[in-house]
């Protein structure tokens, strides 16, 4: 399977849906939402949901609205994390961040609007006709949990708490598991549970997502240390300057790379009972760890 | 019907549910969420949902989780609106605002967490067992719309846009309808649609909610102008100082009072086909306009 081609194809489908649901506007809140949504995101979370639903024989079309909502959520988290009161980042993916473009007030409201619209997209009756409302309810609840105080927000709280002092390995894993892995795990899980899956399959894909999510954050930390500026879209070493908790800071580059590779091997191992319809999930896992080093 | 007693009883029930779902903590994000949730809110939106479900013969117990979620949403909107980048308010209901107590970063995350937890509460399977998942899906979608870019957030965007210049009467009504009335209308609608209601009843209660919501904001504007500081919990005239768009600024106090009273009369008129089970809805409407002048 040509995983780069698969990722490109699915990105096109997700981009088209995002473009379709978001009104076009020259300025105002929709322009700000569109700016951040189309600032170069790879659509990893929606694509994981789609690949997971394919792995269990589900219909990618049926879950496209829910999958796209995951990108709205991811984008909201970036817009708010970048704010001056939070990480105070001026650039992301080579472009000025939302508050640099539109001001702090609009950036706060843009994040709020992206998060709110995600829940609208997940539940819009027209766009979710093929799904069982009871399972969809479970998905909305699980997504909310994954990005709430026991998930992504909890991770961001811990991350801000630790800036300036060195967390233990356990604390660092806690931060990464919550801040990044929870939504990535739940994205894969969402695709699986909305497909025609068995409980065993759902559990396997949840395990896969958990490990892929953690590996993804470790690779991100490594790239922040060693990446070239042009490729990264931001100044390398930014995390270190902020004295942020990262894997390379705690374990060094080599051990971090090894940890990521072991996690990816283990993630692919979770899929051993799946047939070739899970090849995209396998390819995505390997692509994450291969992508830039 | 003793409406003050009714409001107190229902507030106790809603407060108990909020207390139950929110972990207790001495500090951190839960402490900040709890601080703002228990800073003196009247629980108008949850109580409207409960009263609306009673009016159509539904079970208040079944919708308590969904109703409480509406208070989480309202509180999130206050925490974010008060931020320095937005309205920059130091006090609300006589207490320091979230960012004054916990700092800007925590206040942003607290708002995010309140909004996110609202969607968790609306969909938590255990707490919504008595509800039809298909109708619940519709409720989640409608609530998201009511508080999104075409609702509450849209109103806040417009409100910030107009600060410093005088909007027309039409523009002011647009702001109020979106910023305040949309969530109040949807709160009443939510209780009705989740009860055992006919489409005609749902429409009537939506109309009631729309008018009550607008009247509520007009009364709020008036109180900001004429209220005593102790009762208001903030300095009167704050809106005028910020050159915010308000009814009294545009029409004067007397005309604003009359407009609110007419709206309330019209809201109660929407309920003419309902029996005495809608007395709480009628009482709430009259209480809103009578509350402080």
Give me the pLDDT at residue B293, please: 47
Judging contacts by C-beta atoms under 8 Å, the chain A residues touching residue B134 are: 133
Q: Is the pLDDT of residue B59 over 70?
A: yes
Hunting for tokens 């004067």 — which residue is that?
B252
Q: Is the pLDDT of residue B102 over 50?
A: yes
Which residues have CB under 8 Å from A10's CB, separation 6+? Answer: A43, A46, A47, A50, A51
When CB atoms are compared, the residue of A104, A133, A144 closest to B120 is A144
Interface of A with B (CB under 8 A): 28-30, 33, 80, 83, 85-86, 103-106, 108-109, 111-113, 115-117, 119-120, 122-125, 128, 133-134, 136-138, 140-141, 144-145, 147-149, 153-154, 156-157, 160
When CB atoms are compared, the residue of A104, A111, A113 closest to B149 is A113
Give me the pLDDT at residue A159, please: 87
CB B284 within 8 A of CB B212: yes
When CB atoms are compared, the residue of A112, A133, A157 closest to B153 is A112
Q: Is the ipTM of this complex over 0.85?
A: yes
Give me the pLDDT at residue B163, please: 72
The secondary structure of A36-50, three-state, reads HHCCCCCCHHHHHHH
When CB atoms are compared, the residue of B28, B85, B112 closest to A115 is B112
Give me the pLDDT at residue A103, please: 97
When CB atoms are compared, the residue of A29, A112, A133 closest to B80 is A112
Q: Kindly give the residue spans of alpha helices, DSSP state H, lying in chain B.
A: 3-21, 28-37, 44-55, 64-81, 98-102, 104-123, 133-146, 152-162, 169-176, 182-194, 199-226, 229-232, 238-241, 247-251, 253-269, 279-290
When CB atoms are compared, the residue of A122, A141, A147 closest to B125 is A141
Chain A nearest-CA distance from B183, in A, is: 13
Chain B nearest-CA distance from A154, in A, is: 8
Cβ within 8 Å, pair B120-A145: yes
Judging contacts by C-beta atoms under 8 Å, the chain B residues touching residue A81 are: none
pTM given for the model: 0.95
- Per-position pLDDT tens, chain A of length 293: 899 999 999 999 999 999 999 999 888 999 999 999 999 999 999 999 999 999 999 999 999 999 999 999 999 999 999 999 999 999 998 999 999 999 999 999 999 999 999 999 999 999 999 999 999 999 999 999 999 999 999 999 998 888 777 788 899 999 999 999 999 999 999 999 999 899 999 999 999 999 999 999 999 999 888 865 555 555 556 665 566 778 898 899 999 999 999 999 999 999 999 999 999 999 999 999 887 54
Cβ within 8 Å, pair A115-B116: yes
Tell me how many residue pairs between chain A and chain B have CB atoms under 8 A apart: 125
Q: Is the pLDDT of residue B243 over 90?
A: no
Q: Positive or negative, the Cα torsion across A197, B131, B114, B240? A: positive
DSSP A85: T
Six token digits for residue A30: 């929709």
Residue A146: closest CA among B35, B119, B238, B65: B119
Residue of B nearest to A113 (CA): B148
Judging contacts by C-beta atoms under 8 Å, the chain A residues touching residue B149 are: 29-30, 33, 113, 116-117
Residue of B nearest to A156 (CA): B109
- C-alpha distance from residue B97 to each of A111, A152, B78, B101 (Å): 21, 24, 9, 6
The number of residues in chain A equals 293
When CB atoms are compared, the residue of A28, A86, A136 closest to B157 is A28
Residue of A nearest to B122 (CA): A141
Cβ within 8 Å, pair B116-A28: no
Cβ within 8 Å, pair B119-A117: no
Residue of B nearest to A143 (CA): B120
Give me the pLDDT at residue B52, please: 98
As a whole number of angstroms, the distance between CA B269 and CA B6 comes to 21
Judging contacts by C-beta atoms under 8 Å, the chain B residues touching residue A148 are: 113, 116-117, 120
The phi and psi torsions of A197 (rounded to 5 degrees) equal -110, 160
CB A155 within 8 A of CB A176: yes
pLDDT per residue as tens digits for the range B125-168:
999 999 999 999 999 999 999 999 999 999 999 988 887 777 88
Give me the pLDDT at residue B236, please: 59
Cβ within 8 Å, pair A117-B83: no
When CB atoms are compared, the residue of B124, B134, B147 closest to A133 is B134
Cβ within 8 Å, pair B137-A128: yes
Residue of A nearest to B22 (CA): A149
pLDDT per residue as tens digits for the range B175-204:
999 999 999 999 999 999 999 899 999 999
Chain A nearest-CA distance from B201, in A, is: 22
Judging contacts by C-beta atoms under 8 Å, the chain B residues touching residue A85 are: 103-105, 108
Can you tell me the mean pLDDT for B55-73? Answer: 97
Give me the pLDDT at residue A293, please: 47
Query: With the CA atoms of A50, A141, B69 and A30 taken in that order, what torsion angle do they form, in degrees rounded to the nearest 10?
Result: -10
When CB atoms are compared, the residue of B83, B86, B113 closest to A148 is B113
Residue of A nearest to B158 (CA): A28
Judging contacts by C-beta atoms under 8 Å, the chain B residues touching residue A80 are: 108-109, 112
Give me the pLDDT at residue B231, please: 54
CB A221 within 8 A of CB A248: yes
Judging contacts by C-beta atoms under 8 Å, the chain B residues touching residue A115 are: 112, 115-116
Can you tell me the mean pLDDT for B228-252? Answer: 68
Give me the pLDDT at residue B234, please: 58
Chain B nearest-CA distance from A30, in A, is: 8
Q: Kindly give the residue spans of alpha helices, DSSP state H, lying in chain A.
A: 3-21, 28-37, 44-55, 64-81, 98-102, 104-123, 133-146, 152-162, 169-176, 182-194, 199-226, 229-232, 238-241, 247-251, 253-269, 279-290
């Amino acid at each position: 399977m040509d995983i780069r081609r698969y990722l490109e194809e699915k990105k096109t489908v997700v981009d088209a849906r995002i473009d379709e649901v978001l009104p076009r506007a020259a300025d105002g809140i929709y322009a700000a939402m569109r700016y951040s949504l189309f600032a170069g995101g790879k659509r990893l979370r929606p694509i994981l949901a789609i690949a997971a639903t394919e792995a269990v024989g589900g219909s990618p079309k049926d879950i496209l609205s829910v999958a796209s909502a995951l990108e709205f959520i991811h984008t909201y988290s970036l817009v708010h994390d970048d704010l001056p009161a939070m990480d105070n980042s001026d650039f992301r993916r080579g472009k000025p961040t939302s508050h640099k473009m539109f001001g702090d007030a609009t950036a706060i409201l843009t994040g709020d609007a992206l998060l709110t619209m995600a829940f609208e997209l997940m539940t819009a009756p027209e766009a979710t006709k093929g799904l069982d409302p009871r399972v969809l309810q479970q998905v909305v609840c699980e997504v909310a949990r994954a990005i709430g105080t026991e998930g992504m927000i909890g991770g961001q709280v811990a991350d801000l708490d630790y800036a300036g002092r060195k967390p233990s390995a356990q604390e660092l894993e806690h931060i990464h598991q919550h801040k990044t892995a929870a939504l990535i795990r739940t994205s894969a899980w969402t695709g699986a549970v909305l497909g025609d899956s068995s409980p065993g399959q759902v559990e396997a894909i949840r395990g896969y997502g958990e490990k892929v999510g953690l590996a993804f954050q470790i690779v991100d930390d490594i790239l922040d240390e060693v990446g070239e500026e042009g490729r990264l879209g931001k100044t390398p070493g930014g995390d270190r300057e902020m004295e942020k908790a990262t894997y390379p800071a705690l374990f060094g580059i080599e051990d971090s790379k090894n940890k990521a590779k072991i996690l990816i091997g283990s993630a692919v191992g979770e899929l051993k009972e799946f047939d070739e319809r899970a090849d995209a999930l396998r390819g995505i896992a390997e692509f994450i760890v291969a992508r830039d080093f």
